[in-house]
Structure 1
Amino acid sequence: MQDGVDRAVLAAASLTQDLSVEETAAEYLKSVSFIDEVDLEYDYETSLNAREVTITARYSLATAFLPLIGINSMDMMARASAEERRRNVEVSMILDISGSMRWSTPAGAPTRISLLRPAAKSFIDALLTEGTKDTTSITIVPYAGSANPGAAMFSILGVPRKHSYSSCLNFVSGDYGMGLIPFSQRLQTAHFTQNHNGVNEPGLEWAWCPYEATAITYLSNDADVLKAEIDAMRMHDGTGTAIAMKWGMLMLEPAAQPIVAQAVAAGLVPNQFADRPAPFDDGETLKVLVLMTDGAISPQYQPKKYDYPRTPAVDNESLSNGGTPLQNMYAVCNRAKANGVVVFTIAFQVDSTGAAQMSNCASSPAHFYDVKGLDIGAAFQSIAMSIQKIKLTQ
């Protein structure tokens, strides 16, 4: 009886349930053979964003031998409560578009980017349902050597513009562990490539900073727009995971609310999200970072001659070794976790080094996915289910 009540209350509490609480419970209690003899009580409360259901079952069990001492029956009770609360959800999807995403593992298999696109789009569809899209915003941060906030956001932030090839900026080490930074004091990233060797492939650019077509998409709940952005992403040079994480986290930082308000005025963000990002301690808001990569973090570079629109590797100099970008990424991961942001990471066909980096960043081992091939779709679906899950409260 308790098992039946548990299952019935979970189903009845679902905000996607079209049947009444009583009708839903009846369907799930059919497996209780003596249900016709059970007295059921229903207590529920439903609002736009929440449904709380309690079911109490009482049954009088006839005794076999206890009537000899005057006990003809024993009263049994089973009770369960469940609640689904449609919380405000703020998600930053951080997607690796480095040149290695053109590879196939094993040879002849679909390319990594061709596997990523449908997986990421199915994640969006799972989160932005008719019942949840009004309370859910998704930011997509495609990244290669850096991440491009887009020309319009670049202007809002007040970063001095040095060229018009792209719109990335150079963070300094102290930026990663803090919230809002003084953007007007940051340098625009030079437009260059580190690894270009005359190779041209469909869907591949060689700029370190992604072009405008592969810029960040901010706080959207339009599934069609978000999926179109995923389809439009082009691969670029480098793997600047720390930079991408900084942008993703920035869109969850309460201190960024004035920036988002300006983005709303510029038409970059829907009006309904003008008050986001919510405070970290807002009990009605769930903040999530989803980081996907197919490789370990690369060193950071810049050209010796800033004004080159494109320079081969011989003209570049290293800004930092691999260890510093890694520590910068961990600084963002740690800030996120310390402020209640749930961090999921997906290591997609990576080596042990890349997997360890992603595992260390995640909120827990259960929030880390080490996947191959088509498993990337299952990983995104699992994360979506975790975000939307129903909890049995009693």
Structure 2
Amino acid sequence: MTEMVGTHARRDHSPRRAVAASRLLTRRMRRFRRGEDGALAIWSIFMVLMMLMMAGLGIDFMMNEMRRTQLQGTLDRAVLAAADLDQTLDPEAVVQDYFDKAGLGDDLLAVEPVSGLNFRTVSAQAVTQSDPILLQLAGVERLTAPASGTAEEVIPNTEISLVLDISGSMRWSERMARLKPAAQDFISTVLEDDAARTTSVNVVPYAGQTNPGRVMFDYLAGQRYAASGGDYFPEWPQDISNVVLHYDRDGDGAIDYAAKVDGFPDADQASHRGNDLDAFFGLVTDFVARRSAEIDSATVPQGASIRGGEKEAAFFAYAADENGPRPDAGPTENTGSGPDLELAYSDFDAAAMPDPASCLEMRAGDFDDLGLPPAGRPQVPHFMFWPIAADVMDWGWCPEDDTRIQYAQNDAAALNGFIGDMRMHDGTGTHYAMKWALALLDPATRPAFAQLNAAGQVPDGFDDRPSDWNAEGWRKVIVLMTDGQITPQVRPSDPLDVTNATVELQNQPGEARTEITGESTNVQSFYDQCDLAKANGVTVYTIAFEAPSDAQRQMRTCASSPSHYFNVEGLEIADAFDAIAHQINQLRLTQ
């Protein structure tokens, strides 16, 4: 169409322009599609946004994990404190108090305490929440983290044999002075508070031998001083009233001197020592020799007469091969002016005679088995081998009865007093001590414990010990300390020679002594008992205290493992006992 404007005509170009604009736009779109300017900037912006998002999420999760870690740590500490058997507060209150002080009081869900005679278990559950930052954009309004744990303190029913070397070498370098407080601290730790209800301790002191005491000696039908082949004097059927010793001072075969010891205590008296003169004949003669100007220690009585009860007094010879009852060969009572010397048994008992020693002889075969020594064994004679240091030692290869084994005790004060009063004796018979230590953990020893309980030597409640081997909830431990290697076992050739009560065997002629077992045999006997202990589930700790290499090897071999063996010097003895005591009684986290 042509529009006439005035005298001129004008054409309409709109379609043509539209086509041109479309073509221009197409060309520009094609260039835009193929263009790469600014692409890296866009990708960088995208990645920065993603990194910011991930960082935000990480902060959310990190804050939640920090809160969970704080919660779990607080819970662990709280249940440990609440499970402690020494804790007197209510377990739930203890746990709640820990959470409150940590600012987590609202997070604690539940506390479940369970207590028994020898244990306490405390379980707790908690949950914490935190407000996320970026996760809220994804619809997560809360993050939660749970925590739980259980703590248990168990004081197992524990039986301990504490074996202590009191041989003469312990007097050197203040060893005994350092041993005593270390052992006492051990006792105080293992018997602390509630542990005393479930823990029993046998204290086994030893020198050349180990003294089980009169009650155990009689339970095992021990034979007093019968090692020479027979009794010189019979067991008197009634309480002895007095004993008269008869002497031939000039050697003409006629008795010319009599010494009377009067006032023997009856069986119902605490100072009663028995009605067998064999048990202390040598010591009585030594007592007379020290009190009489007419008799010296080398003068042996021709015999003795015994009076007591309704039984007629009888004379018993004591000379060469003519020992035994000889009613017509000697006087049975003193007539006329009476005895030449009269002494009171109370003086003899308190001043002249140490507590009688009640060690039992053992044979090498006894160490192949568990349990107490067989019945009917003879008594170890009263003697010393090496010279005595009388200021710190008492006479005897066998410790005296006041240093006997203490059975299944749980009174820390009484045991510590006993340890404090111990005095040293002669020899190192570690194999005997180990035999007794293990026997007192053997369930076959229960009848003996019942007998000891009846005699007041085992507390009520412990008379049914020892427990079965490897019984659930029970453990058995031996702690053995020595400063020397195991020695040979020597004996006087004449066990009843009165010289043995005053002169050491080393200072007597060689024929006065004999060796019954050598060192190698005794060491093997020791190892046999160590192996039996470990095979029956007993944990064996050993301490070599300033000991020579042989003793160190013996202790290391006996211990349950290298970590159960301690080689110490000086004040380190206290550290060793302390470490063992805390291993025996410890608190543990179970979950």
TM-score (norm 2): 0.62
Q: What is the CA-CA distance between 1:68 and the residue it aligns to?
A: 4.0
Q: What is the CA-CA distance between 1:342 and the residue it aligns to?
A: 1.6
Which of 119, 125, 139 lines up with 2:202 in the alignment? Answer: 139
1:16 has 2:207 as partner: no
Q: What is the CA-CA distance between 1:4 and the residue it aligns to?
A: 2.7
Structure 1 unmatched runs, 5+: 105-110
1:166 has 2:235 as partner: no
CA–CA distance in structure 1, aligned partners of residues 358 and 567 of structure 2: 32
Q: What is the CA-CA distance between 1:213 and the residue it aligns to?
A: 1.7
CA–CA distance in structure 2, aligned partners of residues 357 and 227 of structure 1: 28
Maintained 8 Å contact 1:87/1:284: yes
* Corresponding residue number in structure 2 for 1:251: 440
Could you say what secondary structure the match of 1:170 adopts? coil
Matched AA of 1:75: T
The change in CA–CA distance for 1:258 and 1:31 in structure 2 (over 3 A counts) is same
Could you say what secondary structure the match of 2:368 adopts? coil
Maintained 8 Å contact 1:83/1:390: yes
Q: What is the CA-CA distance between 1:146 and the residue it aligns to?
A: 0.6
Matched AA of 1:294: D
Q: What is the CA-CA distance between 1:353 and the residue it aligns to?
A: 2.7
Q: What is the CA-CA distance between 1:201 and the residue it aligns to?
A: 3.7
**Larger CA deviation: 306-315 vs 159-168:** 306-315
Maintained 8 Å contact 1:4/1:31: no
CA–CA distance in structure 2, aligned partners of residues 47 and 182 of structure 1: 37
Please list, as runs of the form range in 1=range in 2, the aligned pairs for 1:89-128 lying within 5 A after superposition. Answer: 89-104=158-173, 111-128=174-191
Maintained 8 Å contact 2:220/2:376: no
The change in CA–CA distance for 1:150 and 1:36 in structure 2 (over 3 A counts) is closer
CA–CA distance in structure 1, aligned partners of residues 395 and 133 of structure 2: 81
Maintained 8 Å contact 1:125/1:223: yes
Maintained 8 Å contact 2:96/2:105: no
Maintained 8 Å contact 2:160/2:201: yes
Matched AA of 1:58: V
Matched AA of 1:210: P
The change in CA–CA distance for 1:336 and 1:31 in structure 2 (over 3 A counts) is farther
Query: Deviations for 1:79-138, whole angstroms, at most 9, x for unmatched residues?
Result: 21121223222111110000011001xxxxxx1111111111122221223322222211
* Corresponding residue number in structure 2 for 1:340: 537
Matched AA of 1:128: L
The change in CA–CA distance for 1:49 and 1:191 in structure 2 (over 3 A counts) is same
Maintained 8 Å contact 1:149/1:215: yes
Maintained 8 Å contact 1:49/1:86: yes
* Corresponding residue number in structure 2 for 1:367: 564
The change in CA–CA distance for 1:182 and 1:127 in structure 2 (over 3 A counts) is closer
Maintained 8 Å contact 1:90/1:287: yes
* Corresponding residue number in structure 2 for 1:107: none
Maintained 8 Å contact 2:205/2:405: yes
Which of 569, 573, 585 lines up with 1:376 in the alignment? Answer: 573
Could you say what secondary structure the match of 2:127 adopts? strand
1:301 has 2:490 as partner: yes
TM-score (norm 1): 0.91
The change in CA–CA distance for 1:31 and 1:335 in structure 2 (over 3 A counts) is farther
Query: Deviations for 1:132-156, whole angstroms, at most 9, x for unmatched residues?
Result: 2222211111100111111222111
Q: What is the CA-CA distance between 1:37 and the residue it aligns to?
A: 5.5
1:186 has 2:256 as partner: no
Maintained 8 Å contact 1:195/1:206: no
Q: What is the CA-CA distance between 1:69 and the residue it aligns to?
A: 3.3
CA–CA distance in structure 2, aligned partners of residues 269 and 36 of structure 1: 49
Identity of aligned residues (%): 42
Maintained 8 Å contact 1:50/1:86: yes
Q: How many pairs were matched up?
A: 385
The change in CA–CA distance for 1:78 and 1:356 in structure 2 (over 3 A counts) is farther
The change in CA–CA distance for 1:370 and 1:7 in structure 2 (over 3 A counts) is farther
Matched AA of 2:150: S
CA–CA distance in structure 1, aligned partners of residues 97 and 548 of structure 2: 48
CA–CA distance in structure 2, aligned partners of residues 176 and 11 of structure 1: 46
Which of 178, 196, 211 lines up with 1:148 in the alignment? Answer: 211
* Corresponding residue number in structure 1 for 2:73: 3
1:130 has 2:319 as partner: no
CA–CA distance in structure 1, aligned partners of residues 77 and 514 of structure 2: 61
* Corresponding residue number in structure 1 for 2:548: 351
Give the root-mean-square deviation of aligned CA atoms. 2.1
* Corresponding residue number in structure 2 for 1:85: 154
Maintained 8 Å contact 2:152/2:589: yes
Query: Deviations for 1:199-246, whole angstroms, at most 9, x for unmatched residues?
Result: 434221242111122111111122222122112211011111110011
* Corresponding residue number in structure 2 for 1:108: none
CA–CA distance in structure 2, aligned partners of residues 190 and 24 of structure 1: 61
Q: What is the CA-CA distance between 1:383 and the residue it aligns to?
A: 1.6
CA–CA distance in structure 1, aligned partners of residues 157 and 212 of structure 2: 24
